[in-house]
Amino acid sequence: MKTALLWLSLLPLYSCASIDVCNEELLENVDFQGSDIAELQSPDVEHCQHLCTQHPTCLFFTFFGSLGTTDDRAFKCYLKSNPSGKPTSQTPLNGATSGFSLKALSCKPNLEPCLSQVYQNVDFGGADYRFLFTNDHEDCQRVCTLDPACQFFTFLEGDFRTQDVRFRCHLKYSWNIPRIPNIERKTGVTSGFSQNLFLNQDFKKGCQKTFFVNMDIPGNDLELVKAASVEHCQVMCSAHPQCTYFSFQSTGFNCNLKNNQQSLVAVAKEGTTSGLPARFCQLADDWLTTRYEGIDFFGSDIGFEPMDDVQQCQTKCTASPFCQFYTFADASFPDPIARRRCYLKRVVTLPAPPSVTKLTKAVSGFSGRNCGTTVF
């Protein structure tokens, strides 16, 4: 019964997500009350709208900008959704701006937008992986743009209150490749990735796979993510600028990213494979092309369609600008209602600071990699 309810709950989602109506209007001093599905940090309403557009189920949102120091809603982006696809309440509220997802194809959504705006007296807190000293915030943004790992930055100006950190440029990271929320073994399903995922640069030299089979590297945990295979785990480690090595547990699909630049000590452990990241080389795409039979990429559904086989499902996901990964339920799936359905999925990969707060004489912004040469 639990499985049947889960699949059936996606029916209104699919019908709402496929309505091709573009509404770009932003309603100032209006709050879409209720229907919250997620609360994220955001520096402005345009960034909040991009977050809503990338989120698998968000259909509308409310954003609060720079409010008073005692208001905990400042820089909050409330993502919202309901079966009707429309806000149930629109209430006048100073400081709030509300709007809609740009998922409709008629909006021609840009899933890799140029985020050229810089924010004076704003701190993007956390997510630091490196800092250096630069002349000004423009140099800091330029360094961030040229560093493949950097997604956003905070620069402390020359008259910042703490003297010994003036002119410091903090480079920051958030995941710019899809993270699968959960991976489970399940009868009658096959999962995989869009073949349009572009996760590393074009290098002539291929990467060397350095794996330690049935070996664990204990401790020094940086972050736990899910991975479909050890090769997929290596990709996740390679993407994170602080990951120095990893351990992958195949039973739970746990990819433990580690950070220790001083030592690497491996111990025997059945069912665990450890390895090293691969950088400045061309990663093999076998993890990307593999279809993972009996594995469900659980959650993050943007919709489903009836399909005859997994090949059609992969083709559909690859053709969709929103789809990053998929799960196909075949004729042997236990719930007959969900059989021969292709579930298309995605997660947010937009640069997203974990914290946005006011900070005098701080300047924050994003990498300009998607802006071309006109900005810098």
pLDDT digits (tens, 9 = 90+) for 307-342: 999 999 999 999 999 999 999 999 999 999 999 999
Cα(234)–Cα(223) distance, integer angstroms = 13
Residue 67 confidence (pLDDT): 74
Give the amino acid at 279.
R
Whether 348 has a pLDDT exceeding 80, the answer reads yes
Question: Averaging pLDDT over each range in 156-160, 277-281, 371-375, which range is the top one?
Answer: 156-160
What confidence category does residue 2 fall into, taking pLDDT thresholds of 50, 70 and 90? very low
Q: What is the bridge-based pairing of β-strands 325-329 and 118-125?
A: unpaired
- Mark out the alpha helices in 245-372 (DSSP H runs): 286-289, 310-319
- Return the percentage of the chain with pLDDT > 70, whole number: 91
Cα(85)–Cα(20) distance, integer angstroms = 12
Whether 41 has a pLDDT exceeding 80, the answer reads yes
Average pLDDT over residues 351-361: 97
Average pLDDT over residues 265-273: 96
List beta partners, residue 343: 304, 327
To which residue do tokens 């959650």 refer? 299
Whether 302 has a pLDDT exceeding 90, the answer reads yes
Residue 13 confidence (pLDDT): 37
**pTM of the full structure:** 0.91
Beta strands in the chain (DSSP E): 27-32, 36-41, 60-64, 76-80, 90-100, 118-125, 128-133, 152-156, 168-172, 182-193, 211-216, 221-226, 245-249, 254-258, 267-275, 292-298, 301-306, 325-329, 341-345, 355-366
Lowest mean pLDDT segment, chosen from 2-6, 58-62, 221-225: 2-6
Average pLDDT over residues 232-250: 96
Q: Exposed (0-12), middle (13-18) or buried (19+): which is 96, by Cβ within 10 Å? A: buried
- Shortest CA distance to 255 belongs to which of 236, 239, 269, 241? 236
Residue 21 confidence (pLDDT): 83
Lowest mean pLDDT segment, chosen from 14-23, 34-43, 150-159: 14-23
Per-residue pLDDT reduced to its tens digit, 218-237: 999 999 999 999 999 999 99
Question: Could you tell me the CA-to-CA distances from 342 to 158, 237, 245, 305, 338 in Å, in that order?
Answer: 55, 29, 35, 5, 9
Backbone dihedral region for residue 220 (phi beyond 0: left; psi -120 to 50: alpha; all else: beta)? left
Average pLDDT, the chain: 91
Average pLDDT over residues 197-224: 85
What confidence category does residue 282 fall into, taking pLDDT thresholds of 50, 70 and 90? confident
What confidence category does residue 139 fall into, taking pLDDT thresholds of 50, 70 and 90? very high
Whether 248 has a pLDDT exceeding 80, the answer reads yes
Whether 202 has a pLDDT exceeding 80, the answer reads no
